[in-house]
Chains A and B, each alone.
Chain A
Amino acid sequence: GENVEQHPSTLSVQEGDSAVIKCTYSDSASNYFPWYKQELGKRPQLIIDIRSNVGEKKDQRIAVTLNKTAKHFSLHITETQPEDSAVYFCAASNPGGNNRLAFGKGNQVVVIP
C-alpha cells in the first residue's frame, strides 16, 4: 500500500518567514495529495490539495508543489503568522484506493512571534 513520509517532524520559524514541509510517497499511481491542518485540540481540516495533473497550486499564503517524477510534494507557507502554528498532515491516495488516504505522521510547525 501507499506509504507517506513527512520531513521535518518539527519546524520552528520566525513570524514573517516562510515554512516548507516536504512529503514523499511510494505509490506512483497516487494522484491526489491533500494537506490537512490540525490546531491544538481541534479536528484536522483541509487547507489545500493538488491532483497529479498540475504541478503547483496556490491559495493566498499557502501553496503546494508536486514532483511526480521524484514522488514528493511540499507545502509552502509564506509570511507566517502565529495562527499558522499547528500540526500539518500530508496524505496521498490513488484511484484504485477506494478513497483511502494514506496520511503522513504530521509536522509540528511553531511560529515564533
Chain B
Amino acid sequence: EAQVTQNPRYLITVTGKKLTVTCSQNMNHEYMSWYRQDPGLGLRQIYYSMNVEVTDKGDVPEGYKVSRKEKRNFPLILESPSPNQTSLYFCASSFGLAGGATGELFFGEGSRLTVL
C-alpha cells in the first residue's frame, strides 16, 4: 500500500530534550516536505527536499533541522524543543515533475507534539 508513515504519532516532551520525528514514504517520490498545522494558521511549511541531499527552508524553519540521506526518509529534528513548537506536524511527499510542475501531495497521518 502506497503511504507516508510518521512516527511517533503522539509525543509529550519537555523543553530542551532533543527529539526526532521520522517520516518514510514507499512511493519513490523525489519531493518531501514537513508542515506544521496550528489553529487559525493553516499549513505552514517548515523544510522541504527536492531529492536526496537537497534540502531547503520553508516558511517557518527556525528551531528545526532535517536531513535527506535516503530517498524514502526525511526526518524532522528538534534539537532543543520549546513550548512554541507544540503543534500538529505533517510530512508529505510527491513526485517532482518535469519543468518544475507540482504533483499531488501525499500526507502522513500527522504527529501531535506537546512541549512542556
Bind each other = yes
List A residues at the B interface (Cβ < 8 Å): 1, 32, 34, 36, 42-46, 49, 89, 93-101, 103-106
Which residues of chain B are near A42, meaning CB under 8 Å? 109
Binary contact readout B86-102 vs A (1 if CB under 8 angstroms, 0 otherwise): 00001000101001111
In the complex, chain B residues whose CB is within 8 Å of the CB of A100: 45, 48, 58
Known: A32-B101, A43-B90, A44-B90. A99 touches B107 (CB 8 A): no
With the chains together, A92 CA to B69 CA distance in Å? 28
State A101–B50 Cα separation when bound (angstroms). 13
B interface residues, how many (CB within 8 angstroms): 28
- B32 shortest CB reach to chain A, Å: 10
Whole-angstrom distance between the alpha carbons of A103 and B90 in the complex?
13
Chain B residues with CB under 8 Å of chain A are 31, 33, 35, 40-45, 48, 50, 56, 58-59, 90, 94, 96, 99-105, 107-110
Cα A109 to Cα B1 with chains together (Å): 30
Chain A residues near B105: list those with CB within 8 A: 34, 36, 44, 46, 101
CA distance A95 to B97 in the complex (A): 10
Are A105 and B41 in contact, CB atoms less than 8 angstroms apart? yes
**Across the interface, which residues of B come within 8 angstroms of A36, CB to CB?**
105
List of A residues within 8 angstroms of B108 by Cβ: 43
Establish whether residues B42 and A99, one from each chain, have CB atoms under 8 Å apart when the complex forms.
Answer: no
CB distance B101 to A95 under 8 Å? yes
Q: How far is the CA of A105 from the CA of B43 in the complex (A)?
A: 7
Given that A43-B110, A45-B107, A101-B105 are known contacts, is A95 also in contact with B100, CB under 8 Å in the complex?
A: yes
Which residues of chain B are near A99, meaning CB under 8 Å? Answer: 31, 33, 48, 50, 94, 96, 100, 102-103
A74 to B42, CA, bound (A): 18
**With A97-B102, A106-B43 given, can you name 15 additional A-B contacts, CB distance below 8 Å?**
A1-B59, A32-B102, A34-B102, A43-B107, A49-B104, A94-B100, A95-B100, A96-B100, A99-B48, A99-B96, A99-B103, A100-B48, A101-B45, A103-B35, A104-B42
